């Protein structure tokens, strides 16, 4: 398959490869951590809201060879790139990429699903300095969807007791909890992510269940770096660092 200008193919070291274009928005550690955190059972149908280049569907299918994933992406060029990654890996029977607005997810996927994953835009539309391109701005900012849109779409898609998995910045953690409970998705499992074990967490991995009773459990904090600046053993295991061709890693250093 011929690549388009600016594209490259990266080996994910799990049997699959992915097409990326840094001019759009290359995947980062947050997506990898989310895919690792998501506890998907055999035979389940999963929807990835805002799938981008399709990294999360590929990682989920590598971990669970018996699931189906539908990715929804609003940007047509990026959705096309994700589709071609699916084709390269011959996963058309397991991964479907839809170009569309996640706010219309229920219209595109009329049946209820078992799980929803999402690595959403973290910043409000008017936050700080703008990104270098429109593609990156849409991926990072709430220009096409808000937090309420994301959680609302998940709530409409999930069957009763279905699960939503998200990663989100801790500075907006209270908003996320309020929004989930308002949409009747009860927070059940949370794991904070910190640059180092003695630093304040800056991200939270969150699992919620549709229509569940209250009661949440916190897992041990996940640290990205050791005090000497090297990656922690858990991050090395997640990223397969130490093997001949490890997957690339991108996370802000403390």
Question: Which string of DSSP letters, residue by residue, matches 81-93?
Answer: HHHHHHHHTT-TT
C-alpha–C-alpha distance, residues 108 and 106, integer Å? 5
- Report yes or no: 199 and 222 within 8 Å, Cβ to Cβ: no
Does residue 27 fall inside a structural domain? Answer: yes
C-alpha–C-alpha distance, residues 14 and 63, integer Å? 8
C-alpha–C-alpha distance, residues 144 and 94, integer Å? 27
Cα Rg of the chain, angstroms: 17
Residues contacting 2, CB < 8 A, separation 6+: none
Query: Could you give the dihedral angle defined by the CA atoms of residues 163, 168, 173 and 176, in that order, rounded to the nearest 10 degrees?
Result: -50
Task: Give the chain's domain count.
Answer: 1
Place of tokens 């849109």: 149
Does residue 32 fall inside a structural domain? Answer: yes
Q: Domain range holding 45?
A: 8-239
3-state SS, one letter per residue, for 119-142: CCCCECCCCCCCCCCHHHHHHHEC
Q: Is the pLDDT of residue 108 over 60?
A: yes
- How high does pLDDT run on average in the chain? 93
Does residue 247 fall inside a structural domain? Answer: no
**Per-residue tokens: 19:** 């097409």
Does residue 2 fall inside a structural domain? Answer: no
Does residue 33 fall inside a structural domain? Answer: yes
* Nearest CA-CA partner of 143 in 120, 166, 164, 165: 120
Q: Give the mean model confidence (pLDDT) for residues 175-181.
A: 98
- Report yes or no: 57 and 51 within 8 Å, Cβ to Cβ: yes
Does residue 50 fall inside a structural domain? Answer: yes
Q: What is the pLDDT of residues 220-245, one digit of tens each?
A: 999 999 999 999 999 999 987 655 44
Q: Give the mean model confidence (pLDDT) for residues 183-210.
A: 97
- Report yes or no: 156 and 106 within 8 Å, Cβ to Cβ: yes
Does residue 246 fall inside a structural domain? Answer: no
Q: What is the pLDDT of residues 34-60, one digit of tens each?
A: 999 999 999 999 999 999 999 999 999
Q: Is the pLDDT of residue 202 over 80?
A: yes
Does residue 58 fall inside a structural domain? Answer: yes
Task: Return the number of other C-beta atoms located less than 10 Å from residue 200's C-beta.
Answer: 11
Which phi and psi angles does 180 have, rounded to 5°? -60, -45
Q: Give the mean model confidence (pLDDT) for residues 119-135.
A: 82
Which CATH number fits the domain that encloses residue 208?
3.40.50.150
Output the CA–CA distances (angstroms, integers) from residue 244 to 12, 58, 199, 225, in the order listed: 12, 20, 31, 21
């Amino acid at each position: 398959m011929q690549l388009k200008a600016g594209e490259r193919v990266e080996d994910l070291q799990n049997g699959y490869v992915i097409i990326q274009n840094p001019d759009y928005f290359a995947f980062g550690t947050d997506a990898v951590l989310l895919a690792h955190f998501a506890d998907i059972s055999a035979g389940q149908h999963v929807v990835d809201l805002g799938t981008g280049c399709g990294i999360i569907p590929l990682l989920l299918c590598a971990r669970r060879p018996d699931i189906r994933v539908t990715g929804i992406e609003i940007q047509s060029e990026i959705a096309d790139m994700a589709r071609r990654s699916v084709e390269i890996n011959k996963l058309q029977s397991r991964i479907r990429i839809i170009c569309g607005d996640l706010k219309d997810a229920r219209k595109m996927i009329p049946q209820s699903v078992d799980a929803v994953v999402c690595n959403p835009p973290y910043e409000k539309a008017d936050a700080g300095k703008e990104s270098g391109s429109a593609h990156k701005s849409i991926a990072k900012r709430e220009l096409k969807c808000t937090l309420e849109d994301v959680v609302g779409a998940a709530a409409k898609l999930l069957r009763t007791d279905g699960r939503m998995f998200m990663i989100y910045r801790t500075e907006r953690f209270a908003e996320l909890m309020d929004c989930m409970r308002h949409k009747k998705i009860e927070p059940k499992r949370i794991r904070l992510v910190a640059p180092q074990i003695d630093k304040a967490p800056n991200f939270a991995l969150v699992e919620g269940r549709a229509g569940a009773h209250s009661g949440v459990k916190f897992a041990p904090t996940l640290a990205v770096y050791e005090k000497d600046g090297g990656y922690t053993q858990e991050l090395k295991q997640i990223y397969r660092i130490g093997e001949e061709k490890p997957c690339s890693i991108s996370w802000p250093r403390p």
